[in-house]
Amino acid sequence: MPYVTTADVVHTLHLDAGETEANPENRFTMDWLDTVNNLLDEVPTSTPGALVITGAGKFFSNGLDVDYIGANADKLPEYLDRVHALYVRVLTFPLPTVAAINGHAFGAGAMLALCADHRIMRTERGFWSLPEVLLGMPFTVGMSSLLRTRLSEPTAIEAMSTGRRYGALDAEAAGIVEQTAAIDDLLAAASEVAAGRAAVAGPTLEVIKQGLRAPLLADLKRPTPASLIG
């Protein structure tokens, strides 16, 4: 299950403990969503402070819980609302946030990485990808708004309409991530960026994020209709 570690002013949210866990792909199960939100409640938001978000093993996050969706189709809108709420939480978190993308970030997991203020992706293996078009899954209004806002238009069009898998160097060139690093240096690089921004943590930063991202946040807070895109 997810957990948090702290070193000096940097808090690290580990999305899971690795491949031996019950949810090794860090999918957005209901229990996982509960745990992540509870952990974010416990992260001190005083100044100075910063938050790194990372996974373990092969995955940063493989996104939505397809087993839950398959067994609870009638609850899909409510489930997606919970996913959107996590995005809002990270987008407006009162600490600077850095995503350390340690492995595959697909679909909803790729979008979670975009919610951080800064992204660093490992170079050796792992892809950032939006495979929804290949799976016959439309993006919600909130997800489309997130992708349009956080990516350049050419990159959003390519990523959303082709399902391309971006390795670290391609992701950096496309503006999906700001940095790349070898896996052995990934957390250190993310912590260095986070610590360098820690002095701005606090309620003012949260208000600035809310104002900066107001239209996006409004889209993410819209209840998901049964059609998903209505």
Q: Which stretches of the chain score pLDDT less than 70?
A: 17-21, 229-230
Residue 227 lies in a domain: no
Q: Which residues are catalytic?
A: 132
Tell me how many domains the chain contains: 1
Residue 226 lies in a domain: no
Residue 228 lies in a domain: no
Report the Cα–Cα distance between both ends of the chain, in Å, rounded: 34
Residue 140 lies in a domain: yes
Residue 215 lies in a domain: yes
Give the CATH number of the domain where residue 69 resides. 3.90.226.10
Residues contacting residue 94 through CB under 8 Å, at least 6 positions apart: 45, 201, 202, 203, 205, 206
Q: How far apart are CA 110 and CA 127, in angstroms?
A: 9
Look up the pTM and report it.
0.96
